[in-house]
Structure 1
Amino acid sequence: MFITRAISVTNFFVASSALAFQVGVLYPWHKQLDDDFEALKKEHLRVLGSIKGAAKGVTEDASAEKRQGLRDMLSSLGRWSFMIGHSPASPSSPPSLVAATEIHHVPKPSIAKSWNTSHDLTLYSRYALAGAVCCSFTHAILTPIDIVKTRIQVDPVAYNHGITGGLRRVVAQEGAGALTTGLGPTFAGYFLQGAFKFGGYEFLKTRTIDILGYETARDNRYAIYLGASALAEIAGDIVLCPFEAVRIRLVSQPGFGRGLLDGFAGIVRQEGIRGLYCGLGPIMLKQVPYTMATFVVYEHALEQAYKWVDKSTVSGTAVTGINLGSGLIAGIAATLVSQPADTILSKINKEKGQAGEGTIRRLWKIAGETGLRGSYAGVGARLVMVGGMTAIQFAIYGDVKKALGATGGIEIK
């Protein structure tokens, strides 16, 4: 009941905040931008008309007063051009009217354009699809290792011989088919989570740059990486949580169900909808710090790598290699940060709580029983799994973006 109400209140708060932000900020802002643009267009045309008329009257013996008036009009044009993202003519430009009135585009993001073109919807949909593909694929192929990692966390006494020993024990006791247990909820859950995580990150990062301006964003880029990744991951966790609950129950309790739908039905039948979200707190404690560490370390690693090589000249294979290496470093850092919460998540989803026992009380109880050392049980398996998975994720994400033509995003350099 607590989780259900919390989710309802959270959804209501998020929806209300979004609606209030759109009505109170974005619509007035958009209207003001439209009005300013129309006024700017009229003034721009007026000034260009004045320049054209002045050009016809300029002769070799034109008076100093006329030349000064022409310079004033050009200066006015320069100031208006700067307001719409253009730079005025350089004082060192050739002394011709065409050169003097040439407008150079400054590649800064435009809020009006960002909110009023269908291009952005297509672009972020491609980011989301690339993220869905890379997350679902990497989690699916690492299902056997994830099974062993979960078994070590929930039963460290029986599974105390590492990854190889754990794999052998699962096959010996349950057959090779047991290594694919939970594949359905893993693929479906991380497909949705990857779409929200990567697509949301790119969207929020770009919107923040639009609002702050490029120069301010560059000086605060790590805060932007952390904030955008955290919000994107929270959205991803909400859709992932039910699938992760089913996966862990299938893995930790052999015979609980035959697959995704059967697992969903079993949990709902025994515990209601609340049972699907009992791990929402732990999954956020695990995934949000994990994702924040992943993106900020990955972006920093890329930044350092491209200080040594020119991205515009390196081959596609080299770019994939850089993404792979940066992702590996990010995955190792993120694993160490999120391991304790991952252990608690496995334990809380292993079985239903006692009657009348709230989620917060269960979390404290499990954390107390596990201890710091116990919370890092299975960290070796998870370093292999998450480190390799994150590296492959970013490599695939970069290649899928390229294949889908997902270009046009903003990079902070």
Structure 2
Amino acid sequence: MLRSMFEKVSCQTLDDTKEFVPQTGLVKSLVAGRTIAAASAVTPQESCEFGSPKYFMLCGLGGILACGTTHTFVVPLDLVKCRIQVDPAKYKNIFHGFKVTLAEEGARGLARGWAPTFYGYSAQGLCKFGLYEVFKVLYAGMLGEEAAYVYRTWLYLGASATAEFFADIALSPMEAAKVKIQTTPGFANTLREAWPRIMREEGMHGFYKSLVPLWLRQIPYTMMKFACFEKTVELLYRYVVPKPRSDCSKPEQLVVTFAAGYIAGVFCAIVSHPADTVVSKLNQVKGVTALEAAKALGWGGLWKGLTPRIVMIGTLTALQWFIYDAFKVATLMPRPPPPEMPESLKKKLQAKGEL
């Protein structure tokens, strides 16, 4: 499946029996209005061709670095957030949550769950960013140049939703172990202890029982994360940045990336928070469904821990986009500019008097 997908999105033959010969002509990139000469697609300043298998592999590696490191960095905040969600009587707010955790477990206790966080979100980042780029190019090719520009927000939403569907399957087992370690006293202190116990007591179901609410949390989150980021970058360059992107230095472009990432992160946290609370409750309590957990929490309970999550997700999202884009800069990957209206569409609109 992935083999045929790469053939479609990269416009290359992967027949192992034949020597690769670059295609001539023009290959349309995802960015409407921009074309790439396939015979000389890799410029001296770029390490790979846009839309090639190497490009997608590097995107996946950038996703591992972006998600694995940032989620591990904010484990203390995530731990307190989860405890507020599942036991608001004991952990009243973010500051009280830190105070209680430090008093009972010391500073070491704030790092509980770091291992499943690192491995789980590294796997998720590989799929989230890598497959997003794959599906974005694939869907753009299916739509055609003009439709890909006109409906680009829907393109971002569809590509990110598809990518996150697979990313959550990779994340779910580690997420289950993380929440058990962080919210169930005495269950386990490490990943090596948590995994065998979950398997012994609940079987494979224990690793995937929260997959559906995880999808409900992560898919809207990721759709907002990518679509809001892409549109915010476009708007920042159009209305805020005082010069065209092509005239901005790489550091200046990364500042725009960070700002757009933080704005997107705030919206992500709000959209996905109720489902996040249900996921935490499901992994803490055995034998309950997502609907039962939601009813038990109540409307107010679903929004417990929102403030620390906004801080956490806003920072996370900004750092992830910054690391991801910085990785592209460091590895000399192609970084297409924000979409521009195709010339063919401009001529059509001008003929109709709409432009």
Which residue in 1 is equivalent to 2:71? 139
Distance 2:97 2:75 in 1: 13
Distance 2:154 2:51 in 1: 27
Alignment of 1:143-222 (within 5 A): 143-160=75-92, 162-222=93-153
Does residue 330 of structure 1 match 2:264? yes
Distance 1:169 1:270 in 2: 29
Indicate if the aligned counterparts of 2:26 and 2:38 stay in contact, CA closer than 8 A.
no
Does residue 225 of structure 1 match 2:152? no
SS where residue 286 of structure 1 aligns? helix
Which residue in 1 is equivalent to 2:223? 292
Alignment of 1:75-114 (within 5 A): 85=26, 107-108=34-35
Structure 2 stretches lacking a partner, 5+ long: 14-22, 28-32, 42-48, 341-355
Change in Cα spacing, 1:113 to 1:157, as seen in structure 2 (3 Å) is farther
Does residue 363 of structure 1 match 2:298? no
TM normalised by structure 1 equals 0.70
Identity %, equivalent residues: 36
Larger of the two Rg values belongs to structure: 1
Can you list the C-alpha shifts for 1:286-339, whole angstroms capped at 9, x where unaligned? 000000011111111000011143111112221111111101110000111000
Indicate if the aligned counterparts of 1:217 and 1:412 stay in contact, CA closer than 8 A.
no
Can you list the C-alpha shifts for 1:55-85, whole angstroms capped at 9, x where unaligned? xxxxxxxxxxxxxxxxxxxxxxxxxx9xx55
CA shift, 1:410, in A, is 7.7
SS where residue 175 of structure 1 aligns? helix
Structure of higher RCO (CA pairs closer than 8 Å, 6+ residues apart) = 2
Which residue in 2 is equivalent to 1:315? 249
More helix by share: 1
Distance 2:203 2:87 in 1: 26
Distance 2:328 2:26 in 1: 28
Distance 2:38 2:131 in 1: 17
Distance 1:336 1:403 in 2: 33
Counterpart of 2:273, as a letter, is Q
Distance 1:314 1:181 in 2: 42
Distance 2:253 2:336 in 1: 17
Does residue 130 of structure 1 match 2:57? no
Distance 1:146 1:291 in 2: 18
Q: Which moved more, 1:278-287 or 1:256-265?
A: 256-265
Corresponding pairs, count: 313
Change in Cα spacing, 1:217 to 1:410, as seen in structure 2 (3 Å) is farther
Indicate if the aligned counterparts of 1:111 and 1:211 stay in contact, CA closer than 8 A.
no
Change in Cα spacing, 1:146 to 1:109, as seen in structure 2 (3 Å) is same
Which residue in 2 is equivalent to 1:103? none
Change in Cα spacing, 1:296 to 1:408, as seen in structure 2 (3 Å) is closer
Distance 1:318 1:118 in 2: 22
Distance 2:175 2:138 in 1: 30
Indicate if the aligned counterparts of 2:74 and 2:312 stay in contact, CA closer than 8 A.
yes
Structure 1 stretches lacking a partner, 5+ long: 1-17, 32-40, 42-80, 87-105
Q: CA RMSD in A?
A: 2.8
Q: Which of 168, 180, 183 is the aligned partner of 1:237? A: 168
CA shift, 1:341, in A, is 0.2
Does residue 391 of structure 1 match 2:318? yes
